[in-house]
Amino acid sequence: MLLLVGLGNPGPKYEKNRHNIGFMAVDEIVHRHAFGPFRAKFQSVCADGDFAGEKVLALKPTTFMNESGRAVGEAVRFFKLSPDDVLVIHDELDLALGKLRVRKGGGLAGHNGLRSINSHIGPDFHRMRVGIGHPGDKSRVHGHVLSDFAKAEVTLMENIIDAVAGSAPLLASGEHSQFMTKVALDLADGT
């Protein structure tokens, strides 16, 4: 089973914020791959689906970003999963806007959602880092992550979310390199 976690903050106020790119990606994956409806469970909203016979639970914590680990930890314990069964989609300041990286483990880079998950299940979960760019000055980071994407950035981010959703089945089989290649090709083709 794959626990596919999108990070973000609940509520319409945050819906289009850069910090909510994980929620946006999970929403598109659930829609594109005909998962069941979202329901409240594990201090989250979650939806069941599968990729080529591999069960997937898509999860969006409703605990706010800084407490995401509570929700993830609850789901991991309930299903008796290991951190290796978890993939977290989140925003990444240290990647240029539109860049994407998938890897297991790694640093927390000051990301409070990752820090919370790390404290509940340990560091060995998989991460999909979606670049939102850095505002250039540390004092502007908070406002940057809690702001909506600029008009000029919206199409690029929609294309990335579309490519991620289209290639998501590769994540369930652990084919992260192939996933990255497929996303890059889809973006190069303009799909």
**pLDDT per position as a tens digit, 149-172:** 889 899 999 999 999 999 999 988
Domain extent, residue 32, equals 2-189
Q: What is the CATH number of the domain that holds 155?
A: 3.40.50.1470
pLDDT of res. 142 = 86
d(CA 70, CA 119): 9
pLDDT of res. 133 = 85
pLDDT of res. 93 = 86
pLDDT of res. 105 = 79
Residue 191 has pLDDT above 80, yes or no: no
Q: What does the mean pLDDT of the chain come to?
A: 90
Instruction: Tell me the pTM.
Output: 0.92
Sign of CA dihedral 103, 108, 109, 114: positive
Counting every residue written for the chain, the total comes to 191
Per DSSP, 17 falls in state B
Range from 72-81, 138-147, 171-180 that averages highest in pLDDT: 72-81
What's the rounded mean pLDDT across residues 93-110?
83
DSSP letters for 127-190: EEEEE----SSGGGHHHHHTSBPPHHHHHHHHHHHHHHHHHTHHHHTT-HHHHHHHHHHHHHHT
Kindly list the catalytic residues. Answer: 19
d(CA 17, CA 50): 28
What's the rounded mean pLDDT across residues 106-125?
85
Higher-confidence residue of 109 and 52: namely: 52
Please give the tally of structural domains in the chain: 1
